[in-house]
Structure 1
Amino acid sequence: MVSDTDLLNVIHTSVNAGKAIMKVYGSSDFQIEKKSDASPLTVADKLSHDTIVKGLNALIVDYPILSEEGSHLGYDERQKWERFWLVDPLDGTKEFIKRNGEFTVNIALIHKGKPVFGVVYVPVSDTVYVGDGDRGSYKIEKVSEGSYSSYKSLIESESGHRLPLHVRKEGTITAVASRSHPSPETKEFLDGLKEQYGKVAVASAGSSLKLCLVAEGAADVYPRFAPTMEWDTAAGHAVVQGAGGKVVHSTNSTGDRHLEYNKKDLTNPWFIVWRQGLR
């Protein structure tokens, strides 16, 4: 489907996009605009988008690209796509503007509505999370400092760590919640966890880092009862899946209805992310 050479180049593309973002991050003018939904847009979003599109268009495979900051084709055209790249050039623009470092570059490969490969790059820490349906999920630190001859050598390097990293301790649970989008439904869900598990630790994080924390095993669950779009979750979803976790509809009590991608409406339903073995 996608060669190891292309997979490695996707990771390089995410790093290059992160470098473009960091040039703006260190400046004094983000050139903030407001999109039609009142969410912020910066010059960094645009530079990252352009970098990613250029990188993906240079791959051997020729798949369509659906990016948050690109033009969005109608469903009549999109529904014909068997495989495509789903991109959020700068996930966590609000965190970027706050300069708290909790923003990411997200690139996912979707096949028949499911994320089969995903890259979440964290520019501030130079860390990449890779989710691969065939090989599992990995966290690679200081990725731009290494010289890798292949995708295999990257994930098997000394800097690469197979996920999850942390073993869950029985009788404890950690939930991660959105820093920018709290909700009464989230509080109600956390109260339910407390009834079931007793004490529940709650951590906050921005962007798709929340999904990566669950994939790592640093958190056990991430409830999301607030709006998100498909490009917000696809790459992180792949990372969670590769680490044995689930990203499922919040209303699905059996926990087996996973989020779908390339829907007519690109808005996600409310969902819950569970770490490996918890659901």
Structure 2
Amino acid sequence: MNDIQPELANILDLARSVAWGAADILSSYYHDDTEGDLEIKDKKDGPVTKADLAANHYILERLQTELGKEKFGYLSEETFDVKKAEPIAKSWVWIIDPLDGTRDFIDKTGEYGMHLALAYEGRPVIGIVAIPEAGKIYFASKDNGTFVETKAGEVKPITVSDRAKIKELYLIVSRTHRDERFQKLIDRLPFKGTKHMGGVGGKISTLLERESDVYISLSGKSAAKDWDFAAPEIILTEAGGEFSYADGNPVYYNQGDVKKWGCIVATNGQCHQALCEKITATIADIDRQ
């Protein structure tokens, strides 16, 4: 990693520029009321629109033009081939979700985003989450903290809440996408309250804004994927939060199978281990019944 460390600041500046450009593309499609313009296609893992593809093309073109393909690999939701699910043979891999929360985008809830992460040997070192309708991007690089930037160019550091007891914490969840097992889990956890937001990046942004403190992903028939988590993870951890499997193990990316099976827990870091232990015990109890 040392051979590229001096370049990371410049790479982050490029990634921020790319993120704003992609956010503008998504927003333009979002606010275009032309009948049928999104060209929605239903695929196995969810809908895909013309906006996904346009943003994806823009992101890849910008990054590959500036950085090339010799040192960097590119793992994108829209170009990933499940039939060739092998790790990209590069130490440095960009992990891209051009439109996080496609269903919310289609339904006009405003709760959609864009994820852009750079991983080194499977772990994120740069991450950006854009929330176009909020006019914000959240960005982080390893050991340098997390920042929020507005469209006006204002940049300021941002950190998670300091709520320190499980009974004081707020859980962030989707309004939908909850199977019976996950519902049983969250019903048994003694949080102070539950809030709702679409998209993983959007959910993690609520932890940065101190509106919530906990996000849980529990796989069922399917699972979230690399591009759902890589950028949100580093913007959370650099802001003081924690992100791991419920057993405490870190999440690795670009491992071939992009699906993240099991239970992943993201918190403000104040009682992460205790909460993970409680979640693990609760899931085991549910599964025994």
TM-score (structure 1 length as normaliser): 0.84
Q: Does 1:219 align with 2:232?
A: no
Q: Match for 1:39: what amino acid?
A: G
What whole-Å deviation, never above 9, does each CA across 1:118-167 have from its counterpart, x for those lacking one? 00001111101112212011222x2x322xxxxxxxxxxx5313222x33
CA distance in 2, matches of 1:200, 1:71: 39
Give the corresponding residue for 1:39: 46
CA distance in 1, matches of 2:63, 2:260: 24
Indicate the SS of the match to 1:31: coil
CA contact (8 A) 1:216 1:243 kept: no
Gaps of 5+ in 1: 147-157
CA contact (8 A) 2:100 2:115 kept: yes
Shift of residue 169, structure 1, vs aligned partner? 6.1
Q: Match for 1:51: what amino acid?
A: Y
Identity %: 24
Shift of residue 43, structure 1, vs aligned partner? 0.4
CA contact (8 A) 1:86 1:109 kept: yes
Shift of residue 230, structure 1, vs aligned partner? 0.7
1:65 to 50, 65, 74: 74
CA contact (8 A) 2:158 2:208 kept: no
CA distance in 2, matches of 1:38, 1:193: 29
Shift of residue 184, structure 1, vs aligned partner? 2.4
Alignment RMSD: 2.0
Shift of residue 38, structure 1, vs aligned partner? 5.1
Shift of residue 75, structure 1, vs aligned partner? 4.8
Shift of residue 6, structure 1, vs aligned partner? 2.2
What whole-Å deviation, never above 9, does each CA across 1:8-36 have from its counterpart, x for those lacking one? 1101101101111111111223211112x
Give the corresponding residue for 2:134: 125
TM-score (structure 2 length as normaliser): 0.82
Q: How many residues align?
A: 255
What whole-Å deviation, never above 9, does each CA across 1:182-210 have from its counterpart, x for those lacking one? 1223333323321xxxx520001111211
CA distance in 1, matches of 2:242, 2:162: 17
Give the corresponding residue for 1:176: 172
Indicate the SS of the match to 2:189: helix
Tell me whether 229-238 or 26-35 shows the greater mean CA deviation. Answer: 26-35
Q: Does 1:98 align with 2:94?
A: no
CA distance in 2, matches of 1:4, 1:87: 19
Indicate the SS of the match to 1:64: strand
2:242 to 216, 222, 246: 246
